Structure 1
Amino acid sequence: MPHGTRASSIVRALRAYAVDAVAALHCASLKSGAVLDPPVRTSLLTAYARRRGDACAALALLDEAAHPDVILWNATLDALTRSCRLGDAMVLLRRMACVLGAFDSATLVIMLSGASRAREMDLGMAHHAAAVKRRLDTDLNLQNALVDMYTKCGRFCATEAVFWRMPCWDTTSWNSMIGGSTFNGLFEVSACYFREMIRFMVQADEVTLSSVLAASSRADGLFSFGRSVHGYVVKLGYDDTASCSVANSLITFYSELGFTEDAWNVFAGILSKTLVSWNAMIKGLVDNEKVSEALFVFQEMISGYQPDRATLVTVISGCAEQGLLCEGKAIHGYIVRNGLLHESSSVGNSLLGFYMKCDDPFTANLLFRTMPIRDLISWNTMLSGYSRVVSLGVEGQAMFKELLSEGLKCTLTTILAVLSSCSCPEDLSFGKGVHSVILKYGFASAVSVVNALMHMYICWGDTLAALALLERIMLVSDIISWNTAIVGCVQNGLHGDALEAFRFMHSSLPLNPDSITLVSVLSACGTLKLHSLGKSIHCMSLKHLLACNLRVKNALLTMYFRFADTESAESIFYSPGDINLCSWNCMISGFAQNNDGWRALQFYQKIEDFVPDEMCTVSIICACTQLGDLRYGKSIHGHVVRSDLQNNFFSASLVDMYGKCGRLDVAARVFESSAEKSVACWNSMISALGFHGHGL
């Protein structure tokens, strides 16, 4: 083959061939001598840059050239920027300026693209200044690159300034603005730029339509606009093109807004569905909790398409969320039969998470031991699954030790997963060992890890150790840190310390209390009978708009009843906001504890939309005891028997009620019928006998 023909053949091959063929074509060009031709050398450089990102090979080719031209220099710069070697690219750019004495707009476009990928704002601005200085900023491609760079670096104001100074725009310019608005979370702005694009009569392409549909799906109030874009898509004929990209975007648009029927209509209308189309439809159904329909689509898909990782991970996660063990096992079988478990670890990790969520740790462990590809995510998935079940904490701890013995480096997820399994006093030794590992790997400054350590020490009753940990991260502590400390103090009976911690947090740190904080400090105020402080915290809850929070509301009810301030408690109960069975229980037990049995009975009779539970029933039995109302007490006893609520707790209350209402015989029968007599039950019976003069 003549040299010129051979060179042109290699150039055509390099433009069309895949990654693995580039090195072979390079060898062929060396053997034939075609590598000496500038077009071949440039094509090789471009191939290494775009198909391999192989900057070393590109630099070697540049150095071999006797007199490289601008195109060859630019191709080498492209290889460096695509490999994220911006420092080396800058060195090469300076060398290029020294050798050639100049560079063109294409050079700056390449450098701006590199700055955009790396989010290097300062470097991008330097290239912008160079373009202005050399009067290259009028080039449309360069202006589009500037728009893209400022957008990706989060400087949308600068993006708009560049865009509106441009003398003319093409479709790429508008696409950069529409996509850039969406990238920066300015979804309404994206819609406005699309309208402007249409007004300027610029033809939208698939990229435009996909970008504006993505923006419409993420903003409230843009559904109607998205529907109008759908009409525009149909008008332009993009709803069923070969790439299906716009149709796929429509499926995602409708799915993300919950309109799965509309998504299905778009999907059904695609004549040549791609794998992305099937994945978009399956994901949309799973995200909308229609897992059965997603599995039906998956069954249709596998009859003609080979699912990829995204498909399998989506359907497995759907089965995990719905607890569909049999269906998930069937998908596992399909994966094994088709050898898809060997392709990547993500599929195996999804299966591990599925079995753990479906309470089948045995199968998860079996899969883990036989997985062909296992990474740290696999270990973390197993550890997280074990940590969710208290009874499997020992298995989780053993797996953590095995992970360390294999020399794998822990991540933050690993540490957090294993710490949650150290909540029992029996785990003291292991938990301290984990604390040592945290110090060894340098996680001691991570707030989330310190919060988990604090919770661990509090579960062991070592509040001082937890507070010492909090003191070390004082400046970077968050509300979770302080909630952990305050709740821990309350749980361990250190109510005064809980209030001191709250005072310090509120007065010295820029942190606002949340519902968890207020529930704990209100409980501490009620226990310590600090009426004035409790009212102050009530005012704080109103200020932070937390008084209507159901948990805070119930905590306020409990606190005021402990103060014997029944009037304030009743006003809170009837204040705007939701109430639940716990709210009714607070009112009934609160009145009973304050010896106002009549009001407790009145509230019990008013309960609507809820079935009284054990706490409510015991409280009303106590109210009947106070009132000596045997008739109503008997009806409550009947409710206990009918509802099968009988236990030692009820027995003690019923024995006490019958004894104090003059029916010692019935009290004795209730006592005798108790299957397992608790200390409280014995005490109630002894008290009843003494009350009726049978002390001996």
Structure 2
Amino acid sequence: MIWFERLQSKLNPWRWRFYTTENSSYMDISRRFSEAMKTCANNGNITEARTIHAHLVTMGLCLSSTFLQNHLMTTYSNLGCINDSLLVFQRIVSPNVFSRNTLITGLCNGGWLDDARKLFDEMVLRDCVSWNAMMSGYVQKGLFRDALILFSSMMANDSLCRPNQFSMSAALKACGGIGDGQLSKQLYCSSVKLCFLIDPHVGISILDMFIKCGKMNLAAGHFSQMKTPDLLCWNAMIIGYSKSGRGVEQAVKVFDEMPERDIVSWNTILSILSQHGHGKRTLPMLLQMDSHGFEPDSVTYTTILSALAASSELNWGRHLHARILKRLTDTLDVYIGSALIDMYAKHKCLRIAKRVFDGLPCQNTVSWTSIIAGSSQLGFITESFSLFNQMRRDGVELDQFTLATVLATCEDLRHLTTLHCLSMKLSLDFYIPVSNALLTSYAKHGSITTAGYIFDSMTDRDVISWTSMVTLYSQAGDISSAVSYFNKTPERNLVTWNSMLAGHIQLGYQEDGIKLFISMHRDGKVKPDWVTFVTLLSACADSGSLQLGEQIIPLSTKTGFESDTSVRNGIVTMYSKCGKVGEADLAFKSIVNKDLVSWNSIISGYAQNGLGSKALEVFETMLSEHRPDHITFIAVLSGCSYAGLVEEGRFYFNSMNRVHNIRPNIEHFACMVDLLGRAGQLDEAKELIAEMPFPPSAAVWGALLSASRIHGQTETAEHAIRNLLRTNSDDSGSYTLLANIHSYCGNSDCVAEIRKTMRERGIRKIPGCSWIEMRNRVHVFTSHDMNHDRTDTILEILDHIAIFSKVSELDRIVISENDWW
């Protein structure tokens, strides 16, 4: 038996198995060969498997033994050598069901699903393994609907092959994959009918299916009926509750009830707390984990560091860093190091982040991406590009996330196009994060056409892709295209809804925006957040819808956002713009953590309502808590202007640069011109304009023009309009104001010339508009619009007012037609 010696020298792991006598039976040899092939598959040794194959051919067993051929196919399939397995199958003289099932399993595992399905369809006789192998292949590759269709066919032909517990498990996983809640109930009933619930694998699959389908009540009921749920089931329930409406607290409750835990359980609950903004709770949980004898691993530390990065707990992050260095005797794990870099960068400690990065023994793609992202987030764009170039010089492989991070920092269109070319060269432009980053960056640079081309060329799109297009067209003022993309979005998240809502309101479609929110609320799939309420309150403020705003406030309370500082700021602004200064003051005083926006909102509120002295009083109080910004002084100067507080306005304007180190910008000068103009001090206003360190804007000349009309200064008005025309302003109000001045003075030629200029520049007068809210309805009135459903009643009442007021000229109430454009 010379071949045994050769086999012994080449197959050392099985040397002892082939010491045999010449009287060894065929069954013994077959058994030993099959065991040798199993060992090859377990060890991942393709060379030794092919050596066994060669000996089988030499001995003549490869063509005569279907048993050994089947095992050889299994070995090649497990080693990923699908072509070898296929060649063995093609040489089997009489392949049996086991042969075909083995090849189907191998083809499915190798991703050759079409070939597997072809072989499956050609089988005259199939057993349960055939069906299960094909269904499992579909499930592994995410083709859940194909798996369910196959299961349905199997159920229809149950007289030939009755489904077993493995068939049901595959169907349950497929149902969970598509998230069909109705089908999940049907499959559960089928499991009961076929008596599969006693099988633990089916029980776990049912639980997983209910959780993935969002049926937590059914999952909880099934979980309670399980006699001894294992750790996998407990961990699945924790994850399920965290994603359901019951939220984090129910997940923590299940975690506390666990009879035993493993490291996965701890990491799961820590991850849930981190993802839901409960970063502070992860630290006590870490101590509790330590007291139970569990040693944190890399996943534990990275999870907690991510939570601390999103919070304001930098000191805790430093303590944890020290603990990590103390506990880990080896060099710092690269993933923990990347999390530390991210945490320090988000707390604006870039120098420490760079020190951690430089101290890493191995700087991989993740760590490079973290330090690049940290630099760009803090505004060090040049530094982030330098790091990116250094990463390339060091030969570190770029991935989709690195490139997406750098693309997001592009402020130069040339750099953007260069990176776009690089992404195409590296074949990374087809990845969704890169495509989304390209789309957003081109949109930021105003290249709407290029952004649209990138979107159309994307083979796969996620919710970010669709939301980016909605935002792009909303910001471009094309609300119809934004709505079109919004309606086509297959799955909308909160950002999508907020983007569409903000688009409507920013473009002046407040009523449509509010209707959109009602649709979102009725849909129920997405819950509003603080951004939603701030946007809604802004819409109510701009449209003067006080009653609607007062309905939104209780809704924000119900959803837990009323105490949010940004929402409270929105409430202050809403009340102020609706003329309810007292309510605005109460809302302001109820804010626990007042920020600068809070103070600016209440100061602006007092200023807009003519309470300049009160605005200044609040401003002085604010100085003891916050440092003012340029918006604060716009509100202060506006308050002085509305209240006629000239001396106070001069004082605060002069104190901007001298006391607060804030250089006045064009808006502050416009406020001062308006202040002086209202007070009749037009000469001083003109001197201020002449001394401005930058060219006056249309707003400055418009303020001077308005003051000139009030005080009848035609020459000053002419001076203002000449300069206004040089600015190429598209503001129709200034042109209309000058035309009215000339019309009042009887200069019809000048009026005609202004009209001609407006036509040449394509400037159209925006019709005057006013509105009033009555009985939960906002009534809008536009100049020359007679479409209101109660116009006749309104005109009749106006006639009565004119009579009772003894007004002889009706044009004092209803402006004459000659004054309209």
Same fold? TM cut 0.5: yes
Q: CA distance change for structure 1 residues 503 and 140 in 2, over 3 Å: closer, same or farther? A: closer
Structure 1 CA distance, aligned partners of 2:98 and 2:73?
10
Are 2:371 and 1:382 equivalent residues in the alignment?
yes
Are 2:65 and 1:77 equivalent residues in the alignment?
no
| Cα-to-partner distance string for 1:298-351 (whole Å, 9 max, x where unaligned) | 3135x4x665554454444445455440343145225531x2746xx5444444
1:40-189 matches, cutoff 5 A: 40-49=32-41, 51-65=42-56, 66=59, 67-68=61-62, 69-96=65-92, 101-131=93-123, 133=124, 135=125, 137=126, 139-152=127-140, 153-154=143-144, 155=146, 156-163=148-155, 165-166=157-158, 168=162, 170-186=164-180, 189=183
Unmatched 5+ stretches in structure 2? 459-464, 490-495, 523-527, 557-566, 688-821
Please tell me whether the aligned partners of residues 455 and 484 of structure 1 are also in contact (alpha carbons under 8 angstroms): no
Structure 2 CA distance, aligned partners of 1:662 and 1:44?
99
Are 2:338 and 1:326 equivalent residues in the alignment?
no
Structure 1 CA distance, aligned partners of 2:608 and 2:301?
58
Please tell me whether the aligned partners of residues 352 and 364 of structure 1 are also in contact (alpha carbons under 8 angstroms): yes
* Corresponding position of 2:599: 613
1:252 Cα deviation from its structure 2 partner:
5.6
Are 2:360 and 1:336 equivalent residues in the alignment?
no
* Secondary structure of the corresponding residue to residue 609 of structure 2: helix
1:102 Cα deviation from its structure 2 partner:
1.3
Structure 2 CA distance, aligned partners of 1:543 and 1:229?
37
Q: CA distance change for structure 1 residues 213 and 284 in 2, over 3 Å: closer, same or farther? A: farther
TM-score normalised by length of structure 2: 0.62
**Letter of the structure 2 residue corresponding to residue 379 of structure 1:** W
Structure 2 CA distance, aligned partners of 1:38 and 1:542?
72
| Cα-to-partner distance string for 1:466-522 (whole Å, 9 max, x where unaligned) | 134235336347544544544664xxxxxxxx43xx556667997469553564465
Q: CA distance change for structure 1 residues 224 and 40 in 2, over 3 Å: closer, same or farther? A: same
Structure 2 CA distance, aligned partners of 1:246 and 1:544?
37
In the alignment, which of 379, 386, 390 is matched to residue 402 of structure 1? 390
1:372 Cα deviation from its structure 2 partner:
3.5
* Secondary structure of the corresponding residue to residue 37 of structure 1: helix
Q: CA distance change for structure 1 residues 260 and 517 in 2, over 3 Å: closer, same or farther? A: closer
In the alignment, which of 291, 299, 308 is matched to residue 300 of structure 1? 291
Structure 1 CA distance, aligned partners of 2:546 and 2:224?
55
**Letter of the structure 1 residue corresponding to residue 378 of structure 2:** V
Structure 2 CA distance, aligned partners of 1:442 and 1:150?
28
Please tell me whether the aligned partners of residues 325 and 358 of structure 1 are also in contact (alpha carbons under 8 angstroms): no
* Corresponding position of 2:720: none
Structure 1 CA distance, aligned partners of 2:295 and 2:552?
56
1:410 Cα deviation from its structure 2 partner:
2.7
Structure 2 CA distance, aligned partners of 1:689 and 1:479?
52
Please tell me whether the aligned partners of residues 641 and 678 of structure 2 are also in contact (alpha carbons under 8 angstroms): yes
Unmatched 5+ stretches in structure 1? 11-21, 490-497, 527-533, 561-565, 592-598, 625-631
Give the % identical residues.
Answer: 13
1:130 Cα deviation from its structure 2 partner:
3.5
**Letter of the structure 2 residue corresponding to residue 402 of structure 1:** Q
Structure 2 CA distance, aligned partners of 1:246 and 1:661?
69
In the alignment, which of 595, 619, 623 is matched to residue 609 of structure 2? 623
**Letter of the structure 1 residue corresponding to residue 395 of structure 2:** G
Please tell me the root mean square deviation across aligned C-alpha atoms, in Å: 4.8
* Corresponding position of 1:639: 618
1:662 Cα deviation from its structure 2 partner:
6.3
* Secondary structure of the corresponding residue to residue 175 of structure 1: helix
Who wins on radius of gyration, i.e. which is larger?
Answer: 2
Are 2:361 and 1:361 equivalent residues in the alignment?
no
* Secondary structure of the corresponding residue to residue 226 of structure 1: helix
1:160 Cα deviation from its structure 2 partner:
3.1
| Cα-to-partner distance string for 1:376-399 (whole Å, 9 max, x where unaligned) | 233223323333222x32332111
Please tell me whether the aligned partners of residues 412 and 443 of structure 1 are also in contact (alpha carbons under 8 angstroms): yes
Structure 2 CA distance, aligned partners of 1:396 and 1:123?
48
* Secondary structure of the corresponding residue to residue 473 of structure 1: helix
1:654 Cα deviation from its structure 2 partner:
5.0
1:623 Cα deviation from its structure 2 partner:
2.7
| Cα-to-partner distance string for 1:36-72 (whole Å, 9 max, x where unaligned) | 93322211211222x2344443233112212132232
Please tell me whether the aligned partners of residues 77 and 85 of structure 2 are also in contact (alpha carbons under 8 angstroms): yes
**Letter of the structure 1 residue corresponding to residue 38 of structure 2:** T
Structure 2 CA distance, aligned partners of 1:520 and 1:252?
35
* Corresponding position of 1:214: 208
Structure 1 CA distance, aligned partners of 2:468 and 2:95?
56
Are 2:450 and 1:469 equivalent residues in the alignment?
yes
**Letter of the structure 2 residue corresponding to residue 516 of structure 1:** S
In the alignment, which of 219, 223, 226 is matched to residue 229 of structure 1? 223
In the alignment, which of 395, 411, 425 is matched to residue 440 of structure 1? 425
Q: How many residues align?
A: 609
Q: CA distance change for structure 1 residues 413 and 652 in 2, over 3 Å: closer, same or farther? A: closer
* Corresponding position of 1:418: 406
Structure 1 CA distance, aligned partners of 2:391 and 2:207?
45
* Secondary structure of the corresponding residue to residue 39 of structure 2: helix
